[in-house]
Amino acid sequence: MLDVRFVRENQDAVAEAMRNRHAEWDGELFARLDGERRSAIQREEALQAERNTLSKQVGTLMKEGKRDEAEAVKARVAALKDELAEAAAQRDAVDAQLRDLLLRTPNMPDASTPVGDSEDDNPEVRRWGTPTEFDFEPQAHWDLGPALGIIDFERGVKLASSRFVVLGGLGARLERALINFMADTHTARGYKEWWLPVMANTETMTGTGQLPKFEDDMFKTREDLYLIPTAEVQLTNLHAGETLSAEDLPKHYCAFTPCFREEAGSAGRDTRGLIRVHQFDKVEMVKLCEPENSFDELEAMTADAENILQQLGLPYRVISLCTGDIGFSAAKTYDVEVWLPSYNGYKEISSCSNCVDFQARRMGIRYKDPDSFKGTRYVHTLNGSGLAVGRTMAAIIENYQQPDGSIKVPDVLVPYMGGIEVIRPEGSVAGA
């Protein structure tokens, strides 16, 4: 959430940033609500000061024997109590409107975020590896997976609905292998692993920015809990409402969770295969750090996501998201895109973002800063996929496919696969 004072003092900059984001922003409404809020506060303070002054006068008048005057002052004090309650109610009402407006307003893009209208304007930062070439006609993972008996889309529909997937045999084993490999790799690089609830309450979802703006994209239970769209929600909120010590920063966390997204408004996009489904597995990275270090931490987090792809031997590129494509809570984002032969192009597999103090302000996560005259500051929060497991599986199937329709297992995963080096059709020998 943006700071009220910052918005008040930088209204032109905020309006320009929202235009660059293609986000709705009513500057006139903000100015009116902000003015009403400050007027309500001033009125409340004036009434409180008057009540305090008159309350002191009552005792003096009584001592002086001026009972009638004291009773009149008492009557005014009693009336002030009602006026104060009315003023407080007015302030609360305006506060609620102003908070709702800011909760629905996205973050300010960092100055290093390129200005652009859409994903077509995202500049490429770097590439690793070269797109896979074949001396045979390659197949898409949505054809190879069912042929091998490791992915079953039809049974996913039968058990749930469209955009749910069943993995069987070595497909299930490969999913588990990827999860363990990713989690082991991140913890070896200094991330603390967590095991988390896959449901979150309204306050938690509001803290990271999913609510109130994106409620239509969430699965909700009858108990008013939400199935999490990413472990970022839970990991970042672990310290909601807390004041940390500077010595405890930075905090590097990771977690595997199933993720759930209704994908409202995405009909017709990537409806085949594992790219856009309602339930998917992901290993997530989250960082909490001091503001001065957050952009260095973003570079390191992106490198951690890239490290997974490099160990798997999957070609990828890194792009910097422009203002028209960046996420709601992010100030700067790098997308890591893996090469998928079925698309003849790169597809997002990780998104690493620095949200600066936007989420921390919503969640109330501060730290004691000995160099700050206020004593405490908001932390900066970062999040990144490390990686989306289903998309990684799709990339492995497509990039490691063999002429006979089998799939070579990346060397780094062989120990996690129990020594299996090649995935062959069910019923054949599934070894080296």
Dump pLDDT digits (tens) for 334-344: 999 999 999 99
- 41-44's contacts with Cβ under 8 Å and 24+ in sequence apart are 41/91, 43/87, 43/90, 44/84, 44/87, 44/88, 44/91
Q: 4-103 adopts what CATH topology?
A: Helix Hairpins (1.10.287)
What is the sign of the dihedral through the CA atoms of 97, 99, 105 and 108? positive
Is the domain spanning 119-423 CATH 3.30.930.10? The answer is yes
Q: What is the value of pTM for the model shown?
A: 0.92
Domain with CATH 3.30.930.10 in the chain: 119-423
d(CA 318, CA 340): 14
**Residue 352: helix, strand or coil by DSSP?**
strand
Residue written as token pair 């992010």:
330
Rounded to an integer, the average pLDDT of 357-376 is: 88
For residues 265 and 78, the model is more confident at 78
Q: What percent of the chain has pLDDT over 90?
A: 83
Query: How far apart, in whole angstroms, are the C-alpha atoms of residue 124 and residue 103?
Result: 31
What's the token pair of residue 279? 């339930």
Of 101-110, 154-163, 229-238, 264-273, the one with minimum mean pLDDT is: 264-273
Q: Is the pLDDT of residue 431 over 50?
A: no
290 has which bridge partners? none
Residues classed as catalytic: 261, 276, 348, 351, 391
User: Which tens digit of pLDDT belongs to each residue from 137-179?
Assistant: 999 999 999 999 999 999 999 999 999 999 999 999 999 999 9
Ranking 39-43, 54-58, 166-170, 418-422 by mean pLDDT, the lowest is 54-58
- pLDDT at res. 269: 59
Which residues, in sequence order, are CB contacts of 31 under 8 Å at separation 6+? Answer: 11
The mean pLDDT of 276-302, rounded to a whole number, is 97
Intervals of CATH 1.10.287.40 along the chain: 4-103
pLDDT at 429: 44
pLDDT, the chain, mean: 93
- pLDDT at 265 (0 to 100): 52
